[in-house]
Every structure is written in C-alpha cells, then in structure tokens.
Amino acid sequence: MVGSPSTAETRQERKARTRQALRDAALRQLEERSFGAISLREVAREAGITPTAFYRHFATMEALGLDLVDGSFRPLRSVLRQARAPVAGSQDEIEASVRTLVARVDADRAHFRFISRERFGGVAALRAAIAHEVDLFVRDLEVDLARYPIMADVHPRTLRTAAGLVVAVMASTVDALLEAPEDDEEARSAIRRTAEDQLRMVLLGALHWARARDADADGRDGVGEGAGDGGRDRIGDGDRPGELPAGAAGRADGPGAGPGPGDAIRPDDTELDGAPPGRGPDDAGPATRA
C-alpha cells in the first residue's frame, strides 16, 4: 500500500512523456507536410510506440491535432498578456509585444509553422479550432485597447475591428519570420520595424476613425443635442464618416480629453508615439492650433 502512490505517479509521468513524444513526433512530421498528409502510423513510429499504443493517448489523429492547437495558443496568450502588463506607454507596449512575439516564434517555430499552415489547411476541425483561438485573442486585445483613456469613448465595434487588424498584423509577422532565414538579422529587423509601424497605423487609424465619426455625427445632429436618430453616446457607433474635418473634435469634457473645436488632429494628441509629424486634413502643411 505504501508504494502505490509512487507507482501511480511513475505511471502518470511515463504516460505524460509518451504523450509529449507523440506531439513532438507530429511536429517533426509537419515540418514539410500538412496535418492531413501525415498518418497515425508515421507519428507512432516516430515516437517509438506501436500504432495500437497511440490510442491510449489520443482517440484519433484529429484529437492530436486539436491538442497541438491548444498547445500553440495557450502559452502565447499568456506570454503576451504578461508582456503588456508592466509597460505604461503605448509605444512601449507595441515594441514589447512585437519583441515578445518574435522571441516566441524563435523559441517555438514548429508550433507556429503548424498554426500558420493549418489555419487555411484541409482539416476542418483544426481550421475551426484555430479560428476560435484567434477570436479569443481578438477579444483579449479588444479589452486591452479599451484600457487607454484616450479610447474610453470609442465604440466597441471600432475597438473590435482594430483588435482584428492587430491580430492580422501579428499573423502576417509570424509568416514573415518563418520565411526569413533565422541568421538574417537585417531581414528580421525589417520585419520587426514593419510590424511596429503597422500596429501604430492601426491604433492611430482607429482613433481618427472614431473622432471622424463623432465630428460627422455632431455636424448632422448638433453637438450634445441627440437630434435625428437619438444622438450619439459613443464614438464610432456604426455610420461611415465623411472626410475628416479640420475641426474634428475629441470629447472636450476635461483637461487632456482631446483636441477641441478648431484643433487639427495630430498624432501626438493620440498619445501613440512613433507617428510622423501631424498634418492638416488637406495635407497643405503642418497642422497649427487655431
């Protein structure tokens, strides 16, 4: 009786090692092929077990694939969440997130290659699982964007769109990193800079889009009057904006709330660093205060 717990623990450890060996074997097989092209027998042989023993760990090959999807996304969400927590400025957050993503890809290229390929691959269950994980990631980022005081009045639909674009940038960055030679630091640096620039553009664009909607709504309904369709209580609530006017205003409800009437929208007003110098809507010259 005394030895039973120890025996049970050893058996569980052995099972965990074999299960991990099957994951690793599948990832090696997937270096050059898609998941639908590898067989259970090949994976079992690579892992050093019989095909029959495979079923002690996974009910089907599809179950193994779903396990790989979970193993790819769960650590990534956790790592990126930790990377965003300690930094204060949005420029720092962008650079930290890109650095973290690059480091994660370098440390786990096999998982990222698997996800990159199977996201549009031939196994429907894996495509659906990856799409679900991507959607969870988008929702997490939507919550992150809402943390910015400058984004406080941006409509959730606009935040969700921006979050989706951020994830799309990250996915394209992963693809580029996987294609670039690991020892080509010049190419890798260019990929990082491109990702940072694209993320800044997305966030600046979301804020300007929201302010343009707000200004467009104010022009039609009257500021604070709620005429016509019941007014706007959130920025960016569904109608396409017109051209961004020179006097596009933020919510002028206190110091630091954003540009007021007559003010040009400038990147430094958005609190998102790293953007080019602001210009007026007709690009005629540097934006000036009225």
- CATH, residue 48: 1.10.10.60
Can you tell me the distance from the alpha carbon of 282 to that of 208, in angstroms, rounded to the nearest whole number?
A: 15
111 and 156 share a domain?
Answer: yes
- What local confidence, expressed as pLDDT, does residue 261 receive? 38
Q: What is the mean pLDDT of residues 27-50?
A: 95
Please state the pTM of the whole predicted model. 0.68
Burial 197-216 (b: 16+ CB within 10 A, else e): ebbbebbbebbbbbbbbbbb
* 155/196 Cα distance (integer angstroms): 24
Q: For 205, left (φ over 0), alpha (ψ -120 to 50), or beta?
A: alpha
Whether 22 contacts 58, CB under 8 Å: yes
What integer is the mean pLDDT of 84-105? 74
Instruction: State the pLDDT at residue 189.
Output: 96
Full domain range(s) for residue 45? 14-58
CATH of the domain at 286: 1.10.357.10
Please tell me whether residues 31 and 75 are part of one structural domain: no
**In whole angstroms, what is the distance from residue 180 CA to residue 54 CA?**
35
Considering the domain architecture, whether residues 136 and 244 belong to the same structural domain is answered as yes
Model confidence band, residue 258 (pLDDT cutoffs 50, 70, 90): very low
Residue (of 13, 119, 25, 32) closest to 64 by Cα position: 25
In a domain, 7, yes or no: no
Angle at 111 between CA 137 and CA 116, to 5 degrees: 65
145: its two tokens: 């964007």
